């Protein structure tokens, strides 16, 4: 089954569940996607790490035209502590960025701020090592702020708008409530809330579980 069919089936199932939940007044259900550490690179920085003219190769399609690549690099903190096999996401961007968890930041010895993707001004420095070279970023290492991706139809059904902040509840044995969750709306998005591995482990949530918006 291809990615488009899987996304269509997921959307239909979520719409059906949401109709049932809304009748019961339980809020709008959203599936979870746990986001592991990863890297976005400019083409120039990619070539420093992998050689002149290098192009990323696709491993898995992601939402919004992004993809997980086959390419992996090592990230190195200020105290020369390293984490190996960190995946690069494509396509290349206008600025390089490294997204890690708070636990990763402690291991690497970097003071990474919690930021939205793309907001890297004044963020933590980090070094990257690839098969053909090494790269030092003066800024660009962040802990990604949790957020929800939605299509315009999802946003309308949930009664929210792009840029809104909501609270989200996980109805499991930990009973976790996530505050300050930003809504991101785009035609290319599939309904999904993104949290990092620390948040997922602490709340005992895994990819594919669902949470509810409780604005």
Checking if the pLDDT of 155 tops 60, the result is yes
* 25 Cβ contact list (under 8 Å, min separation 6): none
**Mean pLDDT score of the chain, rounded to an integer?**
91
Phi, psi of 15 (to 5 degrees): -65, -40
Q: What is the pLDDT of residue 26?
A: 53
Q: What is the pLDDT of residue 80?
A: 85
Q: What is the pLDDT of residue 24?
A: 39
Q: Say what the pTM is.
A: 0.84
When mean pLDDT is compared across 22-36, 55-69, 80-94, the lowest value belongs to 22-36
Q: To the nearest whole percent, how much of the chain has pLDDT over 90?
A: 84
Q: b/e for 106-131, b at 16 or more Cβ within 10 A?
A: eebebebeebebeebeebbbbbbebe
When mean pLDDT is compared across 12-26, 47-61, 164-178, the lowest value belongs to 12-26
Q: What is the pLDDT of residue 23?
A: 41
Cβ(199)–Cβ(146) below 8 Å: yes
Closest CA to 174 of 209, 147, 208: 209
Residue 22: band (very low, low, confident or very high) from pLDDT cuts 50, 70, 90 = very low
């Amino acid at each position: 089954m291809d990615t488009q069919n899987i996304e269509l089936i997921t959307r239909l199932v979520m719409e059906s569940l949401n109709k049932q939940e809304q009748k019961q007044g339980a809020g709008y259900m959203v599936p979870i996607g746990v986001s592991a550490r990863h890297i976005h690179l400019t083409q120039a920085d990619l070539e420093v790490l992998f050689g002149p003219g290098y192009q990323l190769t696709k491993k898995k399609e992601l939402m919004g035209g992004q993809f997980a690549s086959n390419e992996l690099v090592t990230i190195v903190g200020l105290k020369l502590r390293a984490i190996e096999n960190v995946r690069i996401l494509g396509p290349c961007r206008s600025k390089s960025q490294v997204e890690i968890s708070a636990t990763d930041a402690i291991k690497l010895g970097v003071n990474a701020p919690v930021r939205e993707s793309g907001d890297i001004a004044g963020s933590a420095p980090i070094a990257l090592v690839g098969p053909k070279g090494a790269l030092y970023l003066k800024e660009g290492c962040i802990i990604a702020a949790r957020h929800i991706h939605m299509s315009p139809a999802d946003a309308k059904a949930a009664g929210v708008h792009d840029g809104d902040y909501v609270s989200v509840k996980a109805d499991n044995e930990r009973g976790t409530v996530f505050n300050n969750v930003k809504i991101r709306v785009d035609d290319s998005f599939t309904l999904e809330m993104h949290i990092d591995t620390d948040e997922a482990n602490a709340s005992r949530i895994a990819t594919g579980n669902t949470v509810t918006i409780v604005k």
